[in-house]
Amino acid sequence: MVDEDLAAQLARTHVRKGHSILDPFCGSGRLLAAAEAMSADRIVGIDINPLAVLLTRARLANPNVSVLRRLLAEIETDTCYRKRIAASSEVKTVQWFNEQSMEELSQIVAWLNMKQLTQPDLLVLGAILSATTRDASFARKSGWKLHRMSEASRSTFAASAWAHFARRLEYFISQSDTKPYNSKNTSIRIGDARRLRVDEGGRKFDVILTSPPYGDSKTTVQYGAASKLCLTFVPLVKGLETFSCSSSVDSQCLGGRLSREIRHLSRQYWAGSAEGTTAKKVESFLADYAIACRGIASSLKASGTAVLIVGQRSTGGFRVKLDQFTIDQFASLGFELTRYDVRKLTRKRHPSHVNRFARSSCTSKRDSGLIRTMSEEFILTFSRSG
C-alpha cells in the first residue's frame, strides 16, 4: 500500500490541472486520490481485485455527509433497526467468525438494506463494512496476510461489529471536510493490467502513477483469501452485489498461473536455482509483469511520464531485483530512466526478519532460514527517450 505522504508528493511533482491519469494497479486508490486533489481531468483506475476497486471507488466518491451523520447517530443512540438476515452457506462453513460477529454483521446488512442510499453513500458504507468484517473476524490484525488467531485467542475474542462500524464511520466523517470534490470524469473498474492495450482502446495518458505487486499474490500477501474474507457481507447489501470475491483472484494476478517452461527471464535479476517450482514462480511473475510494462508504455502520451513504485521481495532466500528488471523493460521500449529514488519503509507493519523454514522439524534448516524482509522501496520515473 502506497504511503499517503508519498502519494501526495508524487502527485504534486507530476500531475497538473487537466492531466489524464492512469493507475493499472490501483489498490486502495491513494495515488489516484492524490492526483484528483491536483485537479486531474480524467482518472482511470484498474485492479483485478474487487476489494481494491471498492476501496478506490469509495475513496473517490462524493457521499452525502449529512446522511452519514444521521446513520452514525442512529447507531450511537441505538435506534438502528437490528434484524438478522440469513447468511450465505459459505459464511457458515468457514470458521472466521463467532456467533456474535455473525449476528451483528448480518444486522448491519439488514439495516443498510432498509435505507434509500445513493451509490456514493453505498460505496463508502461498503468499504467501511469490508474493514469492519475483518475487525470482527478471527483474522490476525498484525498484517494484511490472512492467518487465523490461535485457538486460545479465538476462545476469548470479543468484538462488536457495530462498535467497529461506528468508529470507522465516525473517522470517515471527521476526514470528509478535507476531501476535495471528486472529478466527474472518473472510471474505476475491475480489469487486468496485462490487457491495457486492448481494454483502453488506444487512449493515452499524461501520467501513469502506480505501485505494481512485488511478486505473485499466492506467495506474497494472498489478496484473494484476504479480500474474500473482507467481502463476505458486502455483496449482501443492495447495490453492492457486484463486489463478490473468490480465492481465484490469486490465480488471476500477475504470476498466478505457472509458466510451463522456464525462459530464464530471472537469471539476471534473481540468484536462486534455475530449476524447480520456485524458479517457475519467479519466471511466471516476471513474464506477466513484462506484459503489463508494455501495456503501460503503450498507454502513455509521447510527452507523458510513468512513475512506478517497486520493491525487492525475497523468494527462495534471494531478492528479486524488480527495480532493475523494470528499468530494463522500459529501456527496451524506448524509455529513459529520469529519476531513481530509494525510500525507507518506516511505517511497515511486518517484522524486519522472517524464517522461511519456521515450520521445518529440522533444527539446522530452521537456523539457516532467517531472512530480512523488505525495508525500502524504489521510485522509478520514466519518460520517452529523445
Judged against a pLDDT cut of 80, whether residue 324 lies above it is answered with: yes
Mean pLDDT of 102-127: 95
> 3-state class of 183 per DSSP?
coil
Beta bridge partners of 315: 318
pLDDT of the residue at 222: 63
pLDDT of the residue at 353: 42
pLDDT of the residue at 357: 47
Judged against a pLDDT cut of 80, whether residue 235 lies above it is answered with: yes
Mean pLDDT of 186-195: 92
Whether residue 29 contacts residue 60, with contact meaning beta carbons closer than 8 Å, is answered with yes
Q: What is the pTM of this model?
A: 0.86
- Higher local confidence (pLDDT), 373 or 196: 196
- Higher local confidence (pLDDT), 189 or 216: 189
DSSP per-residue string spanning 103-153: HHHHHHHHHHHTS---HHHHHHHHHHHHHHHHHTSSB-SSSSS--BPPHHH
256: confidence class by pLDDT, cuts 50, 70, 90: low
**Residues 73-101 pLDDT 10s:** 999 887 776 766 555 555 554 588 998 99
**Residues 328-379 pLDDT 10s:** 999 999 999 999 999 987 655 555 444 444 555 665 554 544 555 556 999 9
Which stretch of 44-48, 176-180, 182-186, 363-367 has the lowest confidence by average pLDDT?
A: 363-367
Unique residue bearing C-alpha cell 456474535 = 100
Mean pLDDT of 105-133: 96
Calculate the average pLDDT of the chain: 84
177: confidence class by pLDDT, cuts 50, 70, 90: low
Mean pLDDT of 318-328: 93
Backbone Cα Rg of the chain? 22
- Higher local confidence (pLDDT), 106 or 367: 106
pLDDT of the residue at 263: 66
Domains and CATH numbers, the chain: 1-53+183-216+254-386 (3.40.50.150), 62-181+223-252 (no CATH)
